[in-house]
Amino acid sequence: MNYTHVIFDLDGTLLNTIDDLAGAGNHVCAARGWPVHTAAEYKLMVGNGIPKLVERFAPPGTDRETLAAALGEFSVYYAAHSEDRTAPYPGVPEALAALKEAGVRMAVLSNKADAIAGPVVEHYIPGVFEAVQGALPGVPTKPDPTLLYQLMERLGASPETTLFVGDSGVDVRTGKNGGLRVCGVLWGFRDRAELEEAGADRFASTAEELRQIISE
């Protein structure tokens, strides 16, 4: 089908952010004398927002007060280093430009903090998305569909002609919770098995393949 609207996840879908996320996490770990982790390990920790990421890289049993302090340290460091090694995935900017030229309306929904998500997207992929929605204090994050519904309302998007695109089970469940079809991308942080288990409708191995799925 021909989709009029597409809502994308950010980390692991549009941008490869894992090295900068890992760098910020390991900065906190090293400063606190905690064990550090590999980028591959961080790929399995991300996806549910930064507070949950901090819980996952902290030693088991870390108390809430320490986690809150570590979250503050992570946020400050990441804000200053979120563009050190981050880059769009191959072919993504070109595919998005072609879709925009074809009249597809696009937005981003991320569990990254809203104050960071917008500037990062605009830095790497400027002028493409009508809206970038990140996590907000006191509002449930993906896979809860609250922010998805709000974003679709802002865009005037209909569930029947809107596709959700992401790289994780969280993304697939987000789209499904919002009544959307979902395309899982296979170049991100999680594997096909996770996307299949969550119920993805389609799969894309390259950005060009994704463009074709959206346009067919």
pLDDT value of residue 213: 97
pLDDT value of residue 2: 83
Q: If you average pLDDT over every residue of the chain, what do you get?
A: 97
Question: Rounded distance, CA 186 to CA 198, Å?
Answer: 14
State mean pLDDT over 123-137: 97
What are the CA-CA distances from residue 118 to residues 70, 108, 139, 150, 178 (Å)? 23, 9, 17, 16, 22
pLDDT value of residue 202: 98
Q: Is the pLDDT of residue 1 over 80?
A: no
- Percentage helix, strand, coil, to 5, in the chain? 50, 15, 35
pLDDT value of residue 168: 98
Q: Which CATH architecture has domain 18-81?
A: Orthogonal Bundle (1.10)
**Strands, E, within the chain: which ranges?**
5-8, 15-16, 87-88, 105-113, 131-135, 162-166, 181-185, 202-204
Q: Is the pTM of this model over 0.75?
A: yes
State mean pLDDT over 109-118: 94
pLDDT value of residue 117: 93
Q: Which residues contact 208 (CB under 8 A, 6 or more apart)?
A: 91, 95
Q: Which residues contact 127 (CB under 8 A, 6 or more apart)?
A: none
State mean pLDDT over 109-135: 95
CATH fold label, 5-16+86-215:
Rossmann fold (3.40.50)
Element (H, E) at 29: helix 18-32
Q: What percent of the chain has pLDDT over 90?
A: 97
pLDDT value of residue 67: 98
Every domain of the chain and the residues it spans = 5-16+86-215, 18-81
Using CA of residue 69, residue 34, residue 86, residue 150, what is the dihedral sign?
A: negative
What are the CA-CA distances from residue 120 to residues 24, 134, 142 (Å)? 16, 11, 19
Q: Which token pair is 193?
A: 């098995």
Segment 47-65, tens digit of pLDDT: 999 999 999 999 999 999 9
pLDDT value of residue 39: 97
State mean pLDDT over 131-153: 97
Question: Of 129, 125, 50, 42, nearest to 89 (Cα)?
Answer: 125
Q: Which residues contact 142 (CB under 8 A, 6 or more apart)?
A: 9, 48, 109, 111, 148, 170, 171, 173, 174
Question: Rounded distance, CA 101 to CA 156, Å?
Answer: 19
CB 204 within 8 A of CB 213: yes
Paired residues of 108 in beta bridges:
8, 132
Segment 65-108, tens digit of pLDDT: 999 999 999 999 999 999 999 999 999 999 999 999 999 999 99
